[in-house]
Amino acid sequence: MHYSFFHGTWGSSRGVGEQDLIPLLDLIWGLDTSECGEVWCCKPACILQGEGGGLSSYLSGKGFTVPEDLKSVVGEYIGENYSFVVSWISNKEEYREGLKRGDIALRVRFSTEKIFYPLKLTSLYGEDRIPVILYVIGWVEPELYDSIKESTKVDHFISEGFDVPSELESFFSGDEGVNDLEYTRLRIYTPSKNLKQDLWFHGYSSTELFLAGFFTKLSPLMSILLFALFSSLSSLISGLVVYKGKVSSKELILLGLSNFLTLVGFSIIALRFLSKKHELIEKGKKNDKRLWLYSLLLLTLLLLIIQYPINIRIITSLSLFLSLCLPVLFLYGIFSSSSNIRGFRNYVVFFSILFLVLSYAGTSLLMEVYKPQVIKVCHFQSSFSRIKLLDYTFKDYRLEIMLTNGVGVRVEDVEVLVGGETEYIDSMPPGGKAEVTFTFLPDLCPLGADYYDVDVNISYNNSFTGLKNSSSGRICVGC
């Protein structure tokens, strides 16, 4: 198979202007050196790392002093069919102009049995943390080693739509857009010294891919079916334990399905149904002092089940009162009305505990069995042309945005505006990266919507021209 990757050169702009020729280095396994050709503003050279010194001899011949630590790392590739691609920046002015328009990327294409990405050379940076963000077309799994396992996050995605940039159309067979694009994102953030080995990827089996796609595309239906299954099982087991056959299995399963009306709705329906069972009625029994204890216990279980995120900003709001206080009042009223129904409170509490346990354990097991876990994203659209949005994540109502400076010169007084909030970055060097975080309240997501658009506006001062520039775009986050 052939594998291609693009190497962005913005991270190397710090060397521009120091020498006549500036090298950018990539490591390739199994490259046919005859495929190397001219690249705009760069002159690539392909060097096979053999017994004759290979890269070290080549760089020394160009007048560069090769550090000993680089020699030791490079020496590990001798005789392993690796080649180094050294791209020389030969026209500094043209290179600078290119950086002002955006990233300059070099595409390298080579044959390999497995997807490969070089990391070992980066270990020379020691304690410095250099973020590694890789996007791979298709769903793949990295072969992680111990020193990077804890600091690596892998996500698998299906994008409903992807607008292909003009410069990448050849990579996507000339298509201007791709529907249901499957891809993998890998992020590593660790001290460079931990990048002890290169990174290899393996694909999933056809069965795993089919199941992952099936569960993802039918995720709303699967969620409903799993909720019904866990509710029915919880009711069945709880009823058999508490009522010991006095309520039939069919009736218990139907009662469990009423959990779709929330725990309060389930309790009301269970109360009305069980009150018609004469053998469960205990005449003359009065209310006891444990009603509030039962109500508070049920409320705690309710919060655990729905995993309600209590945000400090809405503690005094009406929504918090309705979410916390009203369930207590409803449950108290229900339990006070059920004092003469044998086992009702125990049944509801036992059901709630079982539902919580089964939901957590069941979904965790499914995620472990049916790999990869796939995130469905909406149509991605953005128009950031200078300060670029490199990556973003949205979880627990926190939006984390990683930006990179593609202007080509240092920028200052960067302002990032999202949803009425503004975050500030003092300055960013050429190719530099920065991360900003915003918090979104739950009620910003439209009722019943899976996704919604967020406008991002960025302004900054260009240290070279002294002018204030701005760019804007839109990202899509899940509810």
Does 157 score more than 90 pLDDT? no
Split at pLDDT 50, 70, 90, the class of 460 is: confident
Across the range 146-161, mean pLDDT stands at 83
Note the pLDDT of residue 230: 92
Which helix (H) or strand (E) segment holds residue 404: the answer is: strand 398-405
Split at pLDDT 50, 70, 90, the class of 84 is: confident
52 vs 197, which has greater pLDDT? 197
Note the pLDDT of residue 256: 92
Tens digits of residue pLDDT in 184-234: 888 888 888 899 898 999 887 667 666 666 666 556 677 788 889 999 999
Helix (H, G, I), strand (E, B) or coil at 181: strand
Across the range 438-459, mean pLDDT stands at 66
Split at pLDDT 50, 70, 90, the class of 296 is: low
d(CA 469, CA 465): 10
Q: Which residue in 474, 458, 455 sits closest to 411, CA to CA?
A: 458
Helix spans in 307-450 (H):
318-337, 344-369
Note the pLDDT of residue 308: 39
Does 237 score more than 90 pLDDT? yes
| Residues 6+ away with beta carbon under 8 Å from 82 | 27, 28, 29, 30, 48, 49
C-beta contacts of 365-372 below 8 A and 24+ residues apart: 366/215, 366/226, 370/208, 370/211, 370/212, 370/215, 371/141, 371/204, 371/208, 371/212, 372/139, 372/141, 372/156, 372/184, 372/204, 372/208, 372/212
Sheet of 387-395, strands arranged across: 387-395, 398-405, 433-439
* Mean residue pLDDT across the chain: 70
Does 23 score more than 60 pLDDT? no
Q: Is 381-478 in CATH node 2.60.40.1940?
A: yes
Across the range 300-315, mean pLDDT stands at 46
Does 173 score more than 60 pLDDT? yes
Tens digits of residue pLDDT in 389-442: 777 777 777 888 888 877 667 788 888 888 778 888 888 887 778 888 887 655
Instruction: Give 72-119 as a DSSP string.
Output: HHHHTTTTTTEEEEEEEE--HHHHHHHHHHS--EEEEEEE-SSEEE--
104 vs 85, which has greater pLDDT? 85
DSSP state of 59: H
Would strands 22-29 and 115-117 be described as parallel, antiparallel, or unpaired?
unpaired
Note the pLDDT of residue 56: 73
pTM: 0.53
Tens digits of residue pLDDT in 308-357: 334 333 344 455 555 556 666 666 666 666 666 777 878 888 888 898 88
Interhelix angle 262-274/291-306, rounded to 10 degrees, is 130
Note the pLDDT of residue 255: 92
Would strands 451-462 and 115-117 be described as parallel, antiparallel, or unpaired?
unpaired
Split at pLDDT 50, 70, 90, the class of 388 is: confident
- Amino acid 5 reads F
Note the pLDDT of residue 15: 30
Domain boundary assignment for the chain: 1-113, 123-204, 219-369, 381-478
| Residues 6+ away with beta carbon under 8 Å from 296 | 328
Note the pLDDT of residue 464: 61
d(CA 222, CA 457): 37
Q: Which residue in 201, 43, 35 sits closest to 115, CA to CA?
A: 201
